[in-house]
Structure 1
Amino acid sequence: MTTNIITFSNVSKSYNETKVLKNVSFEIEQGKFYTLLGPSGCGKTTILRLIAGFIETSEGDIRLEGKRVNDIPANKRKVNTVFQDYALFPHLNVFDNVAFGLNIKKVPKKQIAAKVMEVLKLVQLAGFEDREISEMSGGQRQRVAIARALANEPEVLLLDEPLSALDLKLRTDMQYELRELQKRLGITFIFVTHDQEEALAMSDEIFVLNKGKIVQSGSPVDIYDEPINRFVADFIGESNIVPGQMLEDNLVQFVGKNFECVDGGMRPNEAVEIMIRPEDLTLTSIDQGKLIIKIDSQLFRGVHYEMIGHDAEGNEWVVHSTRKAQEGTEVGLAFDPENIHVMRFNESEEEFDARLESYEEE
């Protein structure tokens, strides 16, 4: 049986006349890794700060373990935050940084020492307790910040873009470390990022935000394979999006042709948008291709070639393939019905979920 540790009910946040969070509702289950994903200014850090108690709601209720916490100060909530800049004290060594919150709470010194050594071991920094912060690498500083947060035994750990200052390799390493740490501890992590790959790699569930609203939530696979609209499709991974018409269930028209698909539950002849991921397009001969495009440019990306071309109607197509094509030549593109994703205009997440359930049950 799952337990909701955090609940937002119709929460809004305004600064003067600007509404940065608009009637947001969601539930966070205990023991999962959640990611708030979206562009700068979408409201994801505002949600984190509301959970932490650093700011107050303008409207709506926030509950932690079923208890309304709108008026509960930050230091009384079982929540700790790891900030983007780590917020470590440069004049304190590793031990004293990790022990800081426990000292404020006047925990006995023996208990502090035991807890500090326990959490340093958890983040693989055992033996570093006497090290100065200035002597630590970026990845090590991040782990000190996490250890300091864990020392307070939070029910929820909030992470505000903590990997953004790290180089690519270290950031990738820390993604694995954070995910494994969350699994070992079994506590709830809420992670803020604008990096789609980071969100896909680490999360049990993703909330995609845009302009102060959650536009879609779900598992990484669900959101990648079934984006609700153009914004989500563009923001999560690369995508080819062209106009189309839903003729009937499992039959769609685009680029002047009819194609079988696996979508349904729409009005006959409804105007829609069609998405196909670049990796789902296969280069083939012109006579075998469902589509024909002319290759405009090509780049080698290491694991694949990335080609950009256009069809006879002027639609641009991005193709990822281990095969190479010649610029200026025409090629065929093949794809399966399952690779076609049909998106309605102005469909809410509730309507989207209900439609999926209706035709999947048939």
Structure 2
Amino acid sequence: MKQAIISFNNVMKSYDDDVPVLKNISFDIEEGKFYTLLGPSGCGKTTILRMIAGFSEPTKGDIYFEGKRINKVPANKRQVNTVFQDYALFPHMNVFDNIAFGLKMRHLPKEQIETKVKEALKMVRLDGYEKRGINEMSGGQKQRVAIARAIVNEPKILLLDEPLSALDHKLRTDMQYELRELQRRLGITFIFVTHDQEEALAMSDEIFVLNNGSIVQSGTPVDIYDEPINHYVADFIGESNIVDGTMIADELVEFVGHQFACVDGGMRPNEPVEVVLRPEDLTLTSVEAGKLKVKVDTQLFRGVHYEIICYDEAGNEWMIHSTHKAVPGQEYGLNFEPEDIHVMRFNESEEDFDARLESYED
């Protein structure tokens, strides 16, 4: 395990005795990784970013940078730079002067400033744009100028507060690839804030999923998508079919009136649970060959697949992603494999979830 460059230890933040924005959260950020803080508006993700940057102090708890407590360290004394949602560029300055601003404030020699600015522009693929006016640039170019201005100061951590939200879909996708590649080339720690789960899954080494001031689950994109800890995470990360069930025994779960083999375990016999099946893991077949019988209600073409909505005999809705058309109004069989079934306990903490998985796998 790499050294933790940032650590939060039971950090709480509240304003004027209101409900806490952050509720005793603890986590470590390892050096050289791309992290994403993911959650809806008001969940606390931007507050975490502001605390790392030094724009806000915790009400309780401690924040450490490379093992040293930094609760009271001012923003300008931290080896951190921030790229804001609106980029915060100076419209009256050209590209060179925007990027060089922080270096000039440090009174670096002119030759050194020129070298550093040109290197930063090359990193963000804006070579030769030094004299371009900010108002003459596209949204994607402005974003890259903002990143160049941040990285030219050689921070150990780059904070990005929803910097892609103002871009159109295609440019946003392009910039996701560019940001990820830039992070790999620089080798510095990126901490990215977004409410877009597809963005988080595409870009991150690790994701922290937040809700109501708490970290609900953390892990790699694959871990969080394949093993959501609860209904909130399963519903927030991607599309999900979630139904009530009963864990009969290890590797045997009941839902919609039928028992199915699964790969989960470590729960109490006959424990009430929730069952998740992702739309891409479901297939339609003949009624006789299916594990459940469903009737197609609607379908939409989504470009790479059809989104098919069905209902089973108990009235449960099922979403299916398929490359094959279905016929609305027709009955089909619904098929899935044991490893496609993910079983979730009610009110299970991340610590208990991890411990159960370890004990069961052992």
Please classify the TM superposition score into its range, dividing by the shorter chain length: over 0.9
Q: Residues 202-213 of structure 1: matches in 2 within 5 Å?
A: 202-213=203-214
Please say if 1:8 is aligned against 2:41: no
1:325: which partner in 2?
A: 326
2:312: which partner in 1?
A: 311
Q: Distance in 1 between matches of 2:19 and 2:248?
A: 42
Q: What is the Cα deviation at residue 18 of structure 1?
A: 2.7
After TM superposition, where is structure 1 displaced by more than 2 Å over at least 4 residues in a row?
A: none
Q: Distance in 2 between matches of 1:25 and 1:321?
A: 41
Q: Distance in 2 between matches of 1:234 and 1:104?
A: 47
Task: Provide the aligned length of Structure 1 versus Structure 2.
Answer: 361
For 1:169, the aligned partner's letter is K
1:64: which partner in 2?
A: 65
The C-alpha deviation readout for 1:199-250, integer Å capped at 9, x for no partner, is 0000000000000000000000000000000000000000000000000000
Q: Distance in 1 between matches of 2:159 and 2:69?
A: 19
Q: Distance in 2 between matches of 1:235 and 1:356?
A: 22
Q: Distance in 2 between matches of 1:215 and 1:155?
A: 27
Contact 1:283 1:323 in 2 (8 A): no
Q: Distance in 1 between matches of 2:48 and 2:217?
A: 15
Q: Residues 245-324 of structure 1: matches in 2 within 5 Å?
A: 245-324=246-325
Q: What is the Cα deviation at residue 138 of structure 1?
A: 0.3
Q: What is the Cα deviation at residue 110 of structure 1?
A: 1.4
Q: Distance in 2 between matches of 1:291 and 1:217?
A: 33
Q: What is the Cα deviation at residue 359 of structure 1?
A: 0.9
2:89: which partner in 1?
A: 88
2:196: which partner in 1?
A: 195
Q: Distance in 2 between matches of 1:108 and 1:61?
A: 37
Deviates more, 1:231-240 or 1:325-334: 325-334
Q: Distance in 1 between matches of 2:108 and 2:42?
A: 39
For 1:75, the aligned partner's letter is N
2:348: which partner in 1?
A: 347
Q: Gapped runs of 5+ residues in structure 2?
A: none
Q: Distance in 1 between matches of 2:319 and 2:262?
A: 20
For 1:103, the aligned partner's letter is K
Q: Percent identity?
A: 75
| TM-score where L is the length of structure 1 | 0.99
| TM-score where L is the length of structure 2 | 0.99
The alignment yields a C-alpha RMSD, in angstroms, of 0.6
Query: What SS class does the counterpart of residue 174 from structure 1 fall into?
Result: helix
Please say if 1:234 is aligned against 2:235: yes
Query: What SS class does the counterpart of residue 14 from structure 2 fall into?
Result: strand
The C-alpha deviation readout for 1:94-122, integer Å capped at 9, x for no partner, is 00000011111111211111111110110
Q: Distance in 1 between matches of 2:55 and 2:110?
A: 29
Q: Residues 67-78 of structure 1: matches in 2 within 5 Å?
A: 67-78=68-79
Q: Distance in 2 between matches of 1:108 and 1:231?
A: 53
Q: Residues 106-255 of structure 1: matches in 2 within 5 Å?
A: 106-255=107-256
1:44: which partner in 2?
A: 45
Query: What SS class does the counterpart of residue 298 from structure 2 fall into?
Result: strand
Q: Distance in 2 between matches of 1:99 and 1:67?
A: 30
1:26: which partner in 2?
A: 27
Query: What SS class does the counterpart of residue 18 from structure 1 fall into?
Result: coil
The C-alpha deviation readout for 1:26-68, integer Å capped at 9, x for no partner, is 0000000000000110000000000000011101000011110
For 1:338, the aligned partner's letter is E
Contact 1:205 1:219 in 2 (8 A): yes
For 1:74, the aligned partner's letter is A
For 1:95, the aligned partner's letter is F
Q: Distance in 2 between matches of 1:214 and 1:164?
A: 22
